[in-house]
Amino acid sequence: MSLNRYERMLMDYLENHAEEKRFWEARVWEIDRRGGRRESKVLDLNSLLWEYFEERSRFESPFREVVIHEGSKKISMLNLSEYLLRMWTPVRSPKKRPAK
């Protein structure tokens, strides 16, 4: 899966900050356990990751630079959301339909 440069920046940040990564692993698990369609989970996580990106831009240099140079328009975190749900949650087998 290909991540845009902002998603890659956020993923690298999580990989380099163990406490932040643990927090986000727990959030991803929490979203996954709620049930529902995968698409809905991805959209929920996308919103949370963007809010986090904005919050980090107030304190962390690489994120702040993005906001300074490119403004604070919302950036898609959909690929990262899908990636985290795939990598950090258990694989579920599709439900079998009853035979006719």
Q: Is 93 within a domain?
A: no
* Residue 13 domain-assigned (yes or no): yes
Q: How far apart are the first and last CA of the chain?
A: 37
User: CA geometry: angle at 80 spanning 79 and 86, to 5°?
Assistant: 90
Residue 73 inside a domain? The answer is: yes
Domain count, the chain: 1
Range of the domain at 40: 5-88
Each residue's pLDDT expressed in tens, for the chain with a length of 100 residues = 799 999 999 999 999 999 999 999 999 999 999 989 999 999 999 999 999 999 999 999 899 998 888 887 888 999 999 999 999 998 776 667 777 6
23 lies in a domain? yes
Within a domain: 94:
no
Decide if 59 is inside a domain.
yes
Structural domain contains residue 95: no
Q: What is the pLDDT of residue 93?
A: 67
